[in-house]
Amino acid sequence: MTDIIRLIVKIILIILLPLMLLIYIVEMNKLGVFENIKNLFSNDDNTNEVVVDPDVVNPDDVKLIDDGTHLIFNNVPINGTLKYYVAQMEKKNFRIHVERFGLEGDEETKEQKEQREQKAKLEAYKEGKATMVGDFADFKQCRLYVETLANKDLVYKIQVEFKYVYEWEKKKENYFHLKQLLTQKYGAPTSCTEKLKPKKMEDHDINDSFHEKKSKYETIYKTDKGDITLYINKHYNLILEYLDKKNSELITEHALEEL
């Protein structure tokens, strides 16, 4: 009798153990345990691969764009095609500037806005220069002008136009704040001209003196990769300009070839 009971127990164990193991495997698979183990020991390097949009730039050209010989703006080398550079600035939360015509308060759908931005992009690529809008160096709603060489789709100059301020004291404060930051990064300026010769120390007189080129505020930092210039232009706008040396020299080379 005892032998029969032992035999029955063995048969039950033989049947139940594989069934219990199968149930355990199914539950572990649902929890993703086996997938995690697979990823842990996988030798697939594709997970660390940097994906480059082939419509923006040839992946083989990325190292040429960032070869260490170009002036840097906003952590991006001033080099590459306009389409590529616009894409890099979009990653920095800049957007193509779009003029909007219509009545104040007109509602615009998301699709309409995207269509206008896409049209503005295509026009910019056609003209070889782009205007973008975004925040930069703690200043809100700056305009960013990206320019390419004549007859060559290659970015060489970046200009930042800071939001217009009419009051001279505030404009001067912004100028010296940026100058201090630039000096901390690039060292002492190569040259600096800061003269103010208005008829009277009124805001509109100071404005006129810049328009008439009687007043001049300009600080230049020359580096081995290009020039950075901070100035107030004749339209009384505060401008920060980055001019890449290597790509700018291509203008001279192109002119010499045509002589």
Instruction: Check whether 55 has a pLDDT greater than 60.
Output: no
Model confidence pLDDT, tens digit, residues 23-53: 766 665 555 544 443 433 333 333 333 344 5
Which residues lie closer than 8 Å to 74 by C-beta, 6 or more apart?
89, 92, 136
Residue 103 has pLDDT above 80, yes or no: no
Q: How far apart are CA 62 and CA 121, in angstroms?
A: 22
Segment 107-132 mean pLDDT: 88
Evaluate if residue 13 carries a pLDDT over 80: no
pLDDT of residue 113: 82
Give the closest residue to 239 by CA, choosing from 179, 150, 169. 179
Tens of pLDDT, residues 180-199: 999 999 999 999 999 999 98
Predicted local distance difference test score (pLDDT) of residue 116: 87
Specify the 3-state DSSP secondary structure of 91: helix
The whole-number average pLDDT for the span 217-239 is 97
Stronger pLDDT, 17 or 41, i.e. the higher one: 17
pTM: 0.73
Of 6-10, 104-108, 215-219, 221-225, minimum mean pLDDT range? 104-108
What sign for the dihedral angle of Cα 149, 131, 57, 72? positive
